[in-house]
Structure 1
Amino acid sequence: MRKYVALVGTNSKRSTNRQLLSFIKKHFSNNIQVELVELGGLPIFDKPRNMKIPPRAMDIADKIDKSDGVIISTPEYDHAAPAVLMNALEWLSYGIQPFMDKPVMITGASFGGLGTSRAQAHVRQMLDAPELRARIMPSSEYMVAHSLQAFDDDGQLFDQNNIEKLEGLIADFQEFVELNSHLKHNLNVNRLDASRIMTN
């Protein structure tokens, strides 16, 4: 059974993105193992000259390293991803490369009707940076709109269409992870390139 890390892209205590990841963890428990990881508790990224990485960031990086892939769920604030998610990605690209060639699937939940398309595009852009170089599953945008009304008291999604779409995307992600396992020929070179960028 494959093991995935699910990053909660917000520090909001009442987060429907956390609900979405919790639903994924429960709904697909017979097929995949999902560990939810909170991103709060990291100091604001300030590019320390000694390149000392906070223990919390190292812990998250270790979980990502040991996983088969990463699922990120992000809300959208002002057409962008939340600061807590951007801050975490900045730490996770500074002298360490847990995302390097790691399969990533991006999801999002939004209180409104427009979804999180811009925030997801923002996260994709960051993950494609030379210091991160994640392998982002293409054509996989998944959004839950009006998310305050999308879940019942047990955390179950109401809309069967949303569930079926998510089931299809998780199945595709499983295949994407399998394909990615054969695409490791440039990993060491990519890591070296990223290290050079950080020291220049």
Structure 2
Amino acid sequence: MESIKLLALSGSLRKASYNTAVIEALQILAPANIKVVIGSIGDLPLFNPDREEEYIPALAELTQSLKLSDGLILASPEYAHGISGPMKNALDWLVSGVDFPDKPVMLINTSSRASHALEALREVVKTMSGIVVEKAYVSIPLLSSGLDVGGIVDNREISGALKAGLNQFCREIEVQKLNNRVN
């Protein structure tokens, strides 16, 4: 397996976020040839199309990270049956960019009660012409578990599900890369 670079975004700005903890755990669990880079969305201003031509440092960093990645990992909580505001805001900033279309996307759900946000996130990614890799989807029961990054890594069932999803995601990315070389 060749080297793969993935950008991971958490839709939660909380310090003790399960969504952030799960992508931090992925960094630890990833094999040496897979680099998981955690992007920051907390400093993005509210989306305003009038500002798209303006230089915004947090946006420049996010778009550069997306450009350099082979795939995108999204973990977002559900608030009021929807995608978290920070995640939706980040995706709104990326919607008109050239680096999102055809980007493979892995979705992670940390709560079995977050089905509305998950479906909304799938719809947004599809609308933005991203490719949700359904075989890589991971749903793990972290809500109210009290697990932090170390607890997630040490939990065989949860870390096994994350590794399996990550491996499937990377296999799909390799297939896409191969197909792009052939075509």
TM-score in terms of structure 2 length: 0.86
Contact 2:108 2:137 in 1 (8 A): yes
Aligned twin of 1:188: none
| Higher RCO (CA 8 Å, separation ≥ 6 residues) | 2
Aligned twin of 1:27: 29
Alignment partners' CA distance in 2, 1:50 and 1:9: 21
Query: Aligned-pair distance for 1:147?
Result: 3.2
Cα 1:158/1:76, change in 2 over 3 Å = farther
Residue identity (%)? 25
Alignment partners' CA distance in 2, 1:70 and 1:45: 20
Contact 2:21 2:148 in 1 (8 A): no
Alignment partners' CA distance in 2, 1:102 and 1:153: 27
Query: Which residues of structure 2 form unaligned runs of 5+?
Result: none
Question: Aligned pairs, how many?
Answer: 179
Alignment partners' CA distance in 1, 2:160 and 2:149: 20
Aligned twin of 2:64: 62
Greater shift in the superposed pair: 30-39 or 42-51: 42-51
Alignment partners' CA distance in 2, 1:160 and 1:150: 16
> Whose Rg is larger?
1
Aligned twin of 2:40: 38
Cα 1:103/1:22, change in 2 over 3 Å = same
The alignment's C-alpha RMSD in Å is 2.2
Aligned twin of 1:172: 168
Cα 1:181/1:139, change in 2 over 3 Å = same
> Of the candidates 135, 138, 142, which is equivalent to residue 131 of structure 2?
135
Alignment partners' CA distance in 2, 1:115 and 1:139: 20
Task: Say which structure is richer in helix.
Answer: 2
Runs of 4+ in 1 over 4 A off after TM superposition: none
TM-score in terms of structure 1 length: 0.79
Contact 1:150 1:159 in 2 (8 A): no
Query: Aligned-pair distance for 1:2?
Result: 1.1
